[in-house]
Chains A and B, each alone.
Chain A
Amino acid sequence: MNALRTYSLATLLAALLLVPAAPALAAGGDGGGDPNAIGHSADGYYMDFSPLGIVELPRILLVRRDGALGLDVFGSTHAALDDGYRLATQDGVALTAEQIDDTILDHEYLYYVLTPADGEVVLDFSITRQLVWVFIVAMLTLLIGLRLAARYKKGIGRETAPRGTFQNMMEALIVFIREDIAKPSIGEKYRKYLPYLLTVFIFIVLGNLLGLVPWGVTATSNIMVTGTLAGFTFLITQLAGTKDYWKHIFWPLDVPVPIKFILIPVEVLGMFTKPLALAFRLFGNMVSGHLVIVSILGLIFIFAAQLGTGVGIGMIFISLPLTLFIYVLKIVVSLVQAYIFTILSAVFIGMAVVDHHHDEPHMAVTPEPAEESHVLGSSFDEIIHGTGDGVTKTPAAQPSLAG
């Protein structure tokens, strides 16, 4: 009985959480197009506040007419259509005037490509919903940073204990990033890179979590956003690179000369694949969560269409709790992915700023006696360079062997 109550409560909660998602899916179902899971999590030129309605976003297009470039700015896609713009399908097939009227009546014009009546679009600067949320997340990150900095400048937290929920919460986070991410991964020079790591962590956490709020859009489920973040890591890594770092890439030591010519392209490729994997990892994790949720909800409609409405309604009681479970998982994934992005950025930066002592054999790990904060960095380095057995060598583990 108790279990049943918990179960129905969970279903109800899931239903409340997913109110915004379901009508949008249903609308996609009977709006002529296929119920499209990918389309739902993709970018768009409007903000979906259904069932309340849709807010169209400004369109900014760089258009070439008779060889001259001009900027066309419209308040919405509808305004652009009123101004003589045409529509085309994704494949570039132009719609006739009648078809365009139909799409306006059906509110489907947002899914087509906007083309000017004369001339061609060179660049589309239109503001999309994911971009809007990137702005919101960036503003929030800025706000958090500035408010916190102002407090510490006044001395609250430095001379006294931190005061208030906000500062205590953020200080716990900042200390975690400094002690558990920056110091072990980068080493002594961590101070210079801590602001970047903090910014990127707060930005990704906010971007991931705000996508789970009803009507929210995941800013980080866009490859351009994650690519930009990974690009920052790439730039910082290359700019921070010491002489040893470049030597390691272009003239790897301790290997025979023929092997070097195999290793150099691999190392150069590795420079680019690392940030690329960072971008893809965050993007893929964020998109896949949305896809799974929409797919599981879509099962309701698929079953209803295939086996009758009754089965579809029955499917709700399986789908919604399952979606709730994925939702909870996504909260965990949001935090873990932000952590992974930050710690990998820190590890890459740490690899670049490290000073090897090249008069010593490269494979031998520089002894770091009883320095707890170096444990992660050095053991990671060992694993990467194949000495293996890195974990058992940690100083913390030594006494246990003796005792």
Chain B
Amino acid sequence: MESVALAYLAAGLGLLGAALGAGIGIGRLASAGLEGIARQPEAVNDIRGTAIILAAFIEGVCIIAEVFALVFFFIA
């Protein structure tokens, strides 16, 4: 019983870490992107394209962590 509780705890903590990390990462990316656009509005298309790809990378890490959290739920 205790191990089941620990598995749920691990899944919850994993989700916390993933959300925290991805939030900080995407927030920093967005701030840098907006600064870039404000400085050079002409480059908005390039910045947007690059930012979407990089956001996808950051989000990918978060999603992988979430999938592992789901695996913990399944095990529990």
Contact = CB atoms under 8 A, between A and B. Distances in A.
A280 interface: yes
A383 B46 contact: no
Nearest to B55: A340
Contact of A391 (B43, B66, B67): B43
B30 interface: no
Interface string A326-363: 00000000001001100110010000000000000000
Contact of B64 (A180, A277, A288, A340): A277
Given A38-B73, A285-B63, A400-B40, A344 B46 contact: no
Contacts of A278: 60
Contacts, number: 71
A187 interface: no
Contact of A397 (B42, B50, B52, B53): B42
Contacts of A399: 42
B24 interface: no
Interface stretch (A166-174, A295-303, A373-381): A373-381
Given A340-B52, A380-B50, A397 B70 contact: no
A387 interface: no
B53 A280 contact: no
A235 to B, nearest CB: 20
A399 B40 CA distance: 11
A22 B43 CA distance: 47
B60 to A, nearest CB: 4
Given A340-B56, A344-B53, A280 B46 contact: no
A391 B53 CA distance: 14
Contacts of B64: 277, 280-281, 284
A391 B46 contact: yes
B43 to A, nearest CB: 5
A99 interface: no
B21 to A, nearest CB: 15
B63 A280 contact: yes
B67 A283 contact: yes
A284 B40 contact: no
A390 interface: yes
B46 A379 contact: yes
B42 A396 contact: yes
A184 interface: yes
Interface in B33-65: 36, 40, 42-43, 46-47, 49-50, 52-54, 56-57, 59-61, 63-64
A238 interface: no
B19 to A, nearest CB: 12
A400 B59 CA distance: 33
B67 A280 contact: yes
Contacts of A344: 53, 56
Given A281-B59, A288-B66, A383 B50 contact: yes
Contact of B42 (A281, A379, A390, A400): A400
Contacts of A397: 40, 42-43
B50 A284 contact: no
Contact of A340 (B36, B53, B66, B70): B53
In the complex, which of the residues A180, A280, A285, A399 has the most CB atoms of chain B within 10 Å of its own CB atom? A280
Nearest to B61: A277
Contacts of B50: 376, 379-380, 383, 390-391
A281 B53 contact: no
A104 B49 CA distance: 54
A162 B57 CA distance: 37
13 contacts: A38-B73, A278-B60, A281-B59, A281-B60, A281-B64, A284-B64, A340-B56, A344-B53, A376-B46, A391-B36, A392-B43, A396-B46, A400-B42
Interface of A: 38, 180, 184, 277-278, 280-281, 283-285, 287-288, 336, 339-340, 343-344, 347, 375-376, 379-380, 383, 390-392, 394, 396-397, 399-400
Given A379-B46, A383-B54, 4 more contacts: A278-B60, A281-B59, A343-B53, A392-B40
